Amino acid sequence: MRCRRALLGVMVAVGLLALPAAATAQDVRSDNMTLLKNVPKVDAATQSDLAFQGQYAYAGTYSGLRVIDVSDPANATQVAFEPCNGGQFDVSVWGDLLFASVDTPQTNDGCSATNTTASTPGAWEGVRVFDISDPANPSLITSVATDCGSHTHTIVPDPDNDNRVFIYVSSYGLSPSSIGPNCQQFHGKISVIRVPLNRPERARVVAEPAVDVDVFDHTRLELGSDGLMDTSGCHDITVLAPKQLAAAACLSEGQIWDISNIRRPKPIVRLHTPFVRAWHSAQFTGDGERVAFGDEAGGGALGRCREQDYPLTGAIWMYEVSSGRELGVYKLPRFFGEEDHCTMHNFNFVPGIDRDVLVSAAYHGGTTVADVSRPWDTEEIGFYEAQTPHATTWSSYWHNGNVYANDIERGFDVFDIEHRSLRDAETLDRNNPQTQEVLFDVDRSDRPSRKFGTFTTLQAGTDMGLSIGGFARITRSLEGTEVRALVFGLAPRTTYGAHLHNEPCSAANPGGGHYMNIPGGAAMPPNELWLSSTEDAMAGITSNRGGVARGRGSADWIARPEAQSVVIHAIPEGGTPAGGPKIACADLR
């Protein structure tokens, strides 16, 4: 969202090899991912989103439309550039038509327009419709004005009429320059455009359904107060046409919509994950059973891939579509400085394989490819961070055997990646990442993941004359989280508190605090995970006469990565297993 409404030690996965950080003139990449071709940008304008059809990639820029022949990916060639001012020019294609979003007010609705302000009489912004029947010579057909313009848009196929499509338009008013006669601060709606495919010049807005979303607090972007306002609206919408569902990233929250009535989408699931700073984009998995939402923390203008941001800030979050249950999170597993603008941006899933493999842009982090089939135990399987010019990648997508990226500074990049899980990917004649037209079977074999730890005695335990050892294990699976422990060296026939904690044992306060599924929620099960030697989840663990205790605890939620340790507490006289002096800790690794 880098626009006027804009939100605008290295860790490497096992089996990947990154070039040394000191080699600044060389690209930083995994050994299985190579750059096949760069098609440089044609001018200084920002490059934005991508769509694909036939042998062509259509690349949006703030100054117009690029058409690139990718029939031979290693020799991708630009065949047309149609100048047409207006950011951010997100694009989608359908047959002979291309649609482009404009949310920078223009002096008129044609391609000769220049930027102006929303309060200027006659200012235009919305969706442009182009004829691409001859991809080498695209031409503007018409322009449809929409309130607050069109930050992004999504094609919605009409299941009852092959001769028309609808377009969902996402927009909002985040800055004073956004506000005008046709754009209010609390926009709170989307626009629905109907497009007759045989008479596209008759495209028009046919509905403006309200979206029931929480007000977005602009301070969540941490960009300062100057020039930004609280607002309401959606940033991006992805449609899963076969199931008549949509995933709406609406700044303050994520939603799943029933779109069986296209003009009146109905929210059926609302998602609130407190770690998400700005709900930015979304994608369904190939089978539509899961959905990923991206967080544009820092608005794409701040460094949010610092060590302290890992693994939750500016990440991609996975949910179960039917219930909205949080399944896990993926974050670029390399760290960058404050000056590197980095967060997860636009992404899609590789179609037709038995894994959920995600391809995502990450601004200065370049492009990352990750297996998120087990969202509780994700793995990066490839990455590429170009250095000259340095990557500032807006969109990265898998399409027909390659990864394509549109980069703010570099232009259009084509990558090859070798990995066994990608070999049977399906090809698509048309690929609008925000309009998923086909369902694919996914046989994930959702294996649990386990991490283990060994207990060591903390100072309070030593002061009690104890020498504590033993083992802990955490298991994450689709069913939830289970923690088991075997502890020895305790006082005989004594009850202790034992809990899952949210920091490592090496922290200044060993283990930190109790891990909470809902941060700030109830400090007890089921929001926390306590271990018990009995069926009573809050009873604590009790040692036998030999000073050995066994404990188990479980929850139906899947613990996030910050669940890092198990801590044993002594119970003060008159106290409860809820807490007390920390006497032993086991890191879960």
Burial class (CB in 10 A: 0-12, 13-18, 19+), 332: buried
Taken in order of first residue, the domains within the chain and their CATH numbers are 28-436 (2.130.10.10), 449-587 (2.60.40.200)
Looking at residue 472, what is its pLDDT?
98
* Spatial distance between the Cα atoms of 101 and 233, rounded to a whole number of angstroms: 16
pLDDT tier for residue 447 given thresholds of 50, 70 and 90: confident
Give residues with Cβ within 8 angstroms of 168, minimum separation 6: 153, 154, 156, 190, 191, 192, 237, 239, 246, 265
pLDDT digits (tens, 9 = 90+) for 350-406: 999 999 999 999 999 999 999 999 999 999 999 999 999 999 999 999 999 999 999
Beta bridge partners of 67: 58, 80
| Other beta carbons less than 10 A from residue 206's beta carbon | 12
User: 5 pLDDT exceeds 60?
Assistant: no
pLDDT at 20: 35
Which class for 244: exposed (0-12), middle (13-18), buried (19 or more C-beta within 10 A)?
Answer: middle
Residue 443: predicted pLDDT:
85
Residue with tokens 């779109």: 259
Residue 550 in tokens = 């066994």
Distance of CA 109 to the CA centre of its chain: 33
Contact 150/125 with Cβ under 8 angstroms?
yes
- The three-state secondary structure class of 299 is helix
The confidence score (pLDDT) of residue 90 equals 97
Encode burial over 190-202: b for 16+ CB neighbours within 10 A, e otherwise: bbbbbbebeebee
CA distance 515 to 510: 13
pLDDT at 227: 84
Prediction pTM value: 0.92
Backbone phi, psi, residue 107, to 5° = -70, -25
Is residue 392 within 8 Å of 409, Cβ to Cβ?
yes
Question: How distant is the alpha carbon of residue 265 from its chain centre?
Answer: 22
Residue 1: pLDDT band with limits 50, 70, 90: low
Q: What does the chain come to in residues?
A: 589
pLDDT at 327 > cutoff 60:
yes
Q: Picking from 291-300, 336-345, 555-564, which range would have the lowest pLDDT averaged per residue? A: 336-345
In the chain, % of residues over pLDDT 90: 92
Tokens read off for 174: 């985040």
Q: In this predicted structure, what is the pLDDT of residue 22? A: 35
Tokens of 77: 């060639």
CA distance 498 to 560: 19
SS3 121: coil
Identify the H or E element spanning 462.
helix 459-463
Which tokens sit at 525?
């099960």
- Give the whole-angstrom CA distance, residue 540 versus residue 499: 9
CB distance 169 to 190 below 8 Å = yes
Q: Does residue 4 come out as left (phi exceeding 0), alpha (psi in the -120 to 50 range) or beta? A: alpha
Res. 16: pLDDT tops 70: no
Q: What is the pLDDT of residues 266-313, one digit of tens each?
A: 999 999 999 999 999 999 999 999 999 999 999 999 999 999 999 999
Reported as a single tens digit per residue, the pLDDT across 197-211 is 999 999 999 999 999
Q: CA-based angle 121:125:130, to the nearest 5?
A: 135
pLDDT at residue 17 greater than cutoff 80: no
Q: Which two tokens stand for residue 267?
A: 């929210």
Q: What is the structure's pLDDT at 25?
A: 59
